[in-house]
Amino acid sequence: MENTPSQSAEDYLERILELVQETGQARVVDIANSLNIRQASVTNMVKKLCELGYVDHEKYKRGLVLTKEGRSVAQRIQRRHATLSRFFSLLELDSETQRRDIEGIEHHLSRDTVRSLEDLASFFEKNPEVLKSFLKSRPEAG
């Protein structure tokens, strides 16, 4: 079994966890619709995720079930995403910019970097005057 899933696999695992949290189940059709991709593509990735030990597929029942390891990876990605969203929100970036930037960098940051961003977000939340001063000192976008 691989230690580190691919970026694509991480995205699928995160989406499966989100669907289970939102609706109680994650089916191939739900994943395809939510990611705006073909069901055949999802089916291929699900096979890989099953082979890697991240997902169990219960046809005609609840759909996809994350294994212990799959859930662990998905929760780690979800926390990373939430940390980046929290941090970028403090910087007053619009939601579309945040979404694009998070999707672009979330798979490339080390755990140490994510922890540092988490600490920085906490610092800014506890010291809003410092954040306000920082935001005022930024040059205007142009």
Q: Flag whether the pTM goes above 0.75.
A: yes
Domain that holds residue 90: 79-137
Helices (H), the chain: 7-23, 28-35, 39-51, 68-90, 95-105, 111-126, 128-137
* 95, 118: one domain: yes
Q: What is the mean pLDDT of residues 1-29?
A: 87
Q: Output the CA torsion sign for 131, 136, 139, 142.
A: positive
- What 3-state class would DSSP assign to 26? strand
Give the pLDDT score at 61.
66
24: its two tokens? 């109680």
Task: Identify whether 142 is part of a domain.
Answer: no
- Name the domain boundary from 21, 39, 72: 72
Q: Which of 90, 85, 120, 118 is CA-nearest to residue 14?
A: 85
* 62, 111: one domain: no
- Name the domain boundary from 51, 72, 93: 72
Q: Which residue type is seen at 2? A: E
Q: What is the CATH number of the domain that holds 68?
A: 1.10.10.10
Q: How do residues 108-118 score in pLDDT, each as one tens digit?
A: 898 899 999 99
Question: Given a cut of 90, is residue 5 above it in pLDDT?
Answer: no
